[in-house]
Amino acid sequence: MLACRYELKYHISDAKAAAIERYVRQFLEYDRYSKLQRGGMYPIVSLYCDSPDMKLCRETLTGQKNRFKLRIRSYTDEPEYPRFFEIKRRINRVIMKSRARVMDEDVKPLLVGRRLPPRGYTTDETALNQFQLYTMTINAGPRVLIRYMRQAFESTSENRVRVTFDRELCFKVTDAPLVRLGGSGWQRNALTEGHAILEIKFTGTFPAWLIRLAELFELDARSVSKYATSIEQACTLGFCAPVVRNGWHG
């Protein structure tokens, strides 16, 4: 799967998030995951991979126009549910995401470059092969787990619009090839203390009602990276290798 879209991010207060949510409900419905949860909030956990010198994180922090991230995503710790190898690319203002579906037991061997064994399900082998190629090229490995709660709204029209609110952002520095929501060692990311991360994603033209929303709530788009801010805070807390800390903080 290769999805091409535009993506706008906003860092907003909890009060503004609640008001925007009420506005959005006039135009969009919960996505299929939010529909299953009380209050519409469901968990997401991603294992981010990077080079030993944190090349991908540095590119985000310096605002490079063309960059990518490598992550493995899950929505549960249940081993019978799939994990998703994802490459998220930014080319100027356009976001492209490729995704491959695998089983939990395959994560560790795939991260060390092994081929996917035959399974009774389909996946995108092209996306998976490209993930492994990128990993090998920069010698990437697991660096940090990031989890949060998401509330998501979307349209089913041809111009796909998706609006999400992410809260309770946490991180855990790790080199283990495990994608888990639970366990100890999690740290709160200050980015979502009293705030939410609003993301607006669309594939066609920016709808008029979204323009009105941005004007009404005085939204100012900015770069909001869950990965980069988590790494920065991890370094402040002393969880990062000296080469990383010295590279950012002198």
Range scoring the smallest mean pLDDT among 39-43, 117-121, 124-128: 117-121
Range scoring the smallest mean pLDDT among 6-15, 23-32, 90-99: 90-99
Question: Which tens digit of pLDDT belongs to each residue from 50-70?
Answer: 999 999 999 999 988 899 999
What confidence tier does 208 reach under pLDDT thresholds 50, 70, 90?
A: very high
pTM of this structure:
0.90
Tokens of 134: 């990128």
CATH 3.20.100.30, domain 2-242, yes or no: yes
pLDDT value of position 114: 87
Mean pLDDT throughout 1-21?
87
pLDDT for 1 beyond 70: no
Please state the φ and ψ torsions of residue 6, each to the nearest 5 degrees.
-105, 150
Do residues 111 and 142 touch, judged by C-beta distance below 8 A? yes
Question: Which tens digit of pLDDT belongs to each residue from 175-190?
Answer: 999 999 999 999 999 9
pLDDT for 246 beyond 80: no
Question: Which tens digit of pLDDT belongs to each residue from 103-121?
Answer: 999 999 999 988 876 665 5
pLDDT value of position 245: 44
